[in-house]
């Protein structure tokens, strides 16, 4: 169960500061009840350990950065953080979510990364009407059939980055592709979206390989690719798994003979560890390392200063999760019970994100550009917009 970070203590001290003024007999001017209220309690449910640990850290880092940039206030109220390590483990997801909602009584849950864990969280958020902001997991249903007024996503649906990869590969002249991914919701939905885009461009999938999550023994799968010799390969892996996959792919000499593509999770946040093995890889994603818009420049500089590290797409998603929450809480002047005002403001958000313009769809999923990037000198460099202001279809979403 969650370790509290130093910000919590700072928030607590601010609250205690008011009490000691009273104890000293100082007469305070009356302030609105909400301003005097308890801190807003934000519960992070993220995979702080395991193959997605780096993703969790970067989401958490950038969320706190955004709130700090707003004076450590949400709608005028101090913030307290609680963290739960969900280990990207679906079988523990219900218990972990219940810890935050029932035991910790958080005001808002921010999580998670893994699509399978996410669905358990979505179920509880729907049952309890707890505000849930998804800072990564792309599981399509969260903003399709299982959408709800209290569930928002600051990241992507699994369909969004992978559908354009299909067109990019077809435009590059590839006709026959193989796919390889982890066998769970995110991998399945990314492959389905890719097949849709590739098929529209006249391409055909000639083989599908499925690796149990979170295994990273790729050798036997890569041998099958070498034997089949497709024109190209589409792969979804992320975090530690993506590092190992890209290195193994290059080590087997496949990189030159069978070009590798994927949604940008394959190379985002992973390049220092992948090194030369990732050079030249083309991926599609809602972020690139050199977008160079003013919001991105400011965000990257502040992140580097605060954490002495480079941000990535996961940091951007954490940053924008906080931006969404601030928009909601400011509209409600810090009253977490003013649900209509909070949700209305979040739905209408127009965020000048480091990724470029971001608005929310009717299903509470980002509408955003998807960029084609190419790895050059250890950076995911911008090539072009692969799909402009792309909205997930939101199929089956009926807001209650
Ligand atoms: C997912 O499980 O939805 C996911 C995990 C890592 C990167 C992208 C998607």
Number of residues assigned to the chain: 400
Distance 80 CA to ligand 1 centre (A): 27
Ligand 1: atom nearest CA of 113 is: 5
pLDDT at residue 15 greater than cutoff 50: no
Pocket of ligand 1 (CB under 6 A): 113-115, 136-139, 158, 186, 238, 265
pLDDT of residue 26: 34
Ligand 1: atom nearest CA of 239 is: 6
C-alpha span between 27 and 9 (Å, rounded): 25
Tokens 């990019």 -> residue: 168
Ligand 1: atom nearest CA of 52 is: 6
Distance 180 CA to ligand 1 centre (A): 15
DSSP 287: -
pLDDT digits (tens, 9 = 90+) for 87-114: 999 999 999 999 999 999 999 999 999 9
Tokens standing for residue 93: 């997801």
Spatial neighbors of 268 by CB under 8 A, at least 6 apart, are: 238, 283, 285, 287, 312, 313, 314, 380
DSSP 355: T
pLDDT digits (tens, 9 = 90+) for 225-244: 999 999 999 999 999 999 99
C-alpha span between 279 and 287 (Å, rounded): 18
Ligand 1: atom nearest CA of 88 is: 2
pLDDT of residue 189: 98
C-alpha span between 390 and 170 (Å, rounded): 19
pLDDT at residue 30 greater than cutoff 70: no
Tokens standing for residue 267: 């190379």
Q: Could you tell me if 181 and 187 are in contact, meaning their C-beta atoms sit under 8 angstroms apart? A: yes
pLDDT of residue 37: 74
Ligand 1: atom nearest CA of 117 is: 2
- Between 73 and 22, the more confident residue is 73
Domains and CATH numbers, the chain: 38-156+290-368 (3.40.50.2300), 159-285 (3.40.50.2300)
Tokens standing for residue 85: 């390590």
Mean of per-residue pLDDT scores for the chain: 92
Distance 236 CA to ligand 1 centre (A): 9
Testing ligand 1's pocket by substitution, the residue of 45, 57, 121, 238 carrying the most ligand atoms inside 8 A of its CB is 238
Testing ligand 1's pocket by substitution, the residue of 113, 161, 313 carrying the most ligand atoms inside 8 A of its CB is 113
pTM: 0.91
Q: Please report how the helices 294-307 and 313-331 are oriented relative to each other, as an axis angle in degrees rounded to 10.
A: 100
pLDDT digits (tens, 9 = 90+) for 204-228: 999 999 999 999 999 999 999 999 9
pLDDT digits (tens, 9 = 90+) for 73-89: 999 999 999 999 999 99
Distance 255 CA to ligand 1 centre (A): 24
Tokens 């992978």 -> residue: 162
In this structure, is the dihedral angle defined by the CA atoms of residues 323, 325, 331 and 333, taken in order, positive or negative?
A: negative
Q: Where are the beta strands (DSSP E) in the chain?
A: 40-46, 79-85, 108-110, 131-134, 151-153, 176-182, 204-211, 232-236, 260-263, 282-285, 350-353, 356-360, 366-376, 379-390
């Amino acid at each position: 169960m969650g370790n509290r970070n130093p910000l919590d203590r700072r928030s607590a001290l601010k609250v205690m500061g008011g009490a000691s003024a009273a104890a000293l007999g100082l007469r305070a001017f009356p302030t609105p009840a909400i301003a005097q209220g308890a801190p807003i309690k934000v519960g992070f449910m993220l995979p702080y350990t395991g193959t997605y640990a780096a993703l969790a850290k970067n989401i958490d880092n950038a969320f706190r950065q955004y709130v700090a940039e707003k004076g450590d206030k949400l709608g005028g109220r101090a913030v307290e953080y609680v963290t739960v390590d969900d280990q990207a483990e679906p079988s523990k997801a219900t218990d972990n979510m219940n810890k935050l909602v029932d035991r910790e009584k958080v005001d808002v849950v921010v999580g998670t990364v893994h699509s399978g864990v996410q669905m358990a969280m979505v179920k509880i958020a729907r049952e309890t009407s707890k505000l849930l902001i998804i800072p990564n997991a792309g599981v399509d249903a969260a903003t399709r059939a299982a959408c709800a007024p209290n569930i928002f996503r600051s990241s992507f649906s699994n369909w969004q980055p992978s559908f354009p990869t299909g067109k990019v590969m077809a435009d590059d002249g590839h006709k026959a592709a193989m796919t390889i991914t982890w066998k769970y919701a995110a991998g399945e939905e990314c492959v389905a979206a890719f097949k849709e885009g590739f098929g529209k461009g006249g391409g055909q999938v000639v083989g599908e390989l499925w690796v149990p999550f979170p295994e990273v023994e790729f050798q036997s799968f890569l041998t099958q690719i070498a034997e089949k010799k497709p024109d190209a390969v589409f792969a979804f892996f992320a975090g530690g798994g993506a590092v190992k996959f890209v290195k193994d792919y290059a080590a087997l000499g496949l990189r030159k003979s069978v070009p590798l593509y994927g949604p940008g999770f394959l190379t985002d946040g992973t390049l220092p560890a992948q090194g030369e093995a990732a050079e030249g890889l083309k991926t599609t994603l809602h972020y690139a390392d050199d977008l160079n818009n003013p919001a991105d420049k400011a965000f990257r500089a502040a992140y580097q200063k605060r954490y002495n590290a480079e941000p990535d797409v996961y940091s951007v998603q954490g940053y924008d999760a906080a931006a969404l929450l601030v928009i909601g809480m400011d509209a409600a002047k810090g009253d977490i019970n003013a649900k209509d005002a909070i949700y209305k403001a979040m739905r209408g958000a127009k965020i000048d994100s480091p990724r470029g313009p971001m608005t929310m769809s009717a299903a509470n999923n980002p509408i955003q550009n998807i960029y084609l990037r190419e790895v050059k000198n250890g950076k995911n460099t911008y090539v072009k917009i692969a799909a402009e202001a792309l909205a997930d279809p939101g199929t089956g979403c009926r807001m209650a």
